[in-house]
Chains A and B, each alone.
Chain A
Amino acid sequence: MMSCHQATQLLSEKLDRPLNTKEKVALGVHTTICPPCRRFSQQMEELRSISKRYTQDPDAT
């Protein structure tokens, strides 16, 4: 069973490289049973979308 530390590291790396099948499965199993890591996963996506808006939003920068 993957730890939250390992899961969150993969959730970060997912933004920088394609995960392999083994990693995807292990991560899928972990996030299914771990609500904090599921939340972390959504927040990583949100962090990316915030970063994209940083140069586009009239109020930003």
Chain B
Amino acid sequence: MTNANLSSEAGYSHAAGIFLNAEFMNDLRLQMIKFARVQVRDEQLAEDAVQEAMLSAYQNIERFSRQAALKTWVFSILKNKLIDLLRKEKRHTAASQLEDGPNINGEELIEKLFNEHGHWQKNERPQKWDNPDHGVENAHFWRVFDACLNALPEKYSRFFMMREFLEMDTAEICHNEEVSVSNLNVTLYRARLRLRECLEDSWYQKEKSS
């Protein structure tokens, strides 16, 4: 091997190195699949979207010198692909057909949280959120967050993810899901009430209650 060969390979591998890191790439792919699957019901379509996002990252290989930059980039591609998929999916699953699901929802939820004057029930008042352990950024927190998200009725989590993960605006979601603005607002409100309570009980207040 000549020196010239070595140096040009070194230059290339600086950018491509991330792609050659099998562990990082595999983890990234699994994260993307999980993210896609919670939002798009058809598994094959979710996988296809991930493949396409990965492929476009390979095609832009020279852009990335850091893992974080690559991750941000492929996720933004993936989000756009998921938004497209959700637009097409609309005919098959109108949100109005989705179950409200088990657990306490709707008016019952409001009655549980607030008294007849609309004020917080004493034992339902939001508590201060103290981070146990090493703060929010750890794997355990995200497992709790996933569990809370999964516990939501399907309609709640679908609207919540469209709004917060895919960052679609209100008009876009209403158009896509054929719901009124007030219906969307109420659904997002209830989703947030439930998530807030679940995170507080399962994470922020866990140490105090156990």
Contact = CB atoms under 8 A, between A and B. Distances in A.
Interface of A: 3-6, 8-9, 12-13, 15-17, 36-37, 39-40, 42-44, 46-48, 50-61
A39 B165 contact: no
A27 B164 CA distance: 23
Given A4-B119, A5-B110, A5-B114, 15 more contacts: A6-B118, A8-B193, A12-B193, A36-B126, A39-B126, A44-B192, A44-B196, A47-B192, A47-B195, A47-B199, A50-B136, A52-B164, A53-B137, A54-B142, A57-B142
Contacts of B208: none
Interface in B102-128: 110, 113-114, 117-120, 125-128
Name the residue among A16, A46, A50, A60 with the largest chain B CB count within 10 angstroms.
A60
9 contacts: A12-B192, A37-B126, A39-B126, A40-B126, A40-B196, A43-B129, A54-B142, A55-B35, A61-B31
Q: What DSSP secondary structure best describes chain B's contact surface?
A: helix
B75 interface: yes
Contacts of A36: 120, 125-126
Contacts of B139: 59
Contacts of A47: 164, 192, 195-196, 199
A2 to B, nearest CB: 8
A2 B72 CA distance: 41
Interface in B2-57: 31-32, 34-35
B170 A55 contact: no
B185 interface: yes
Contacts of A3: 114, 117-119
B158 interface: no
A56 B188 contact: no
B165 A55 contact: yes
Contacts of A9: 185-186, 189
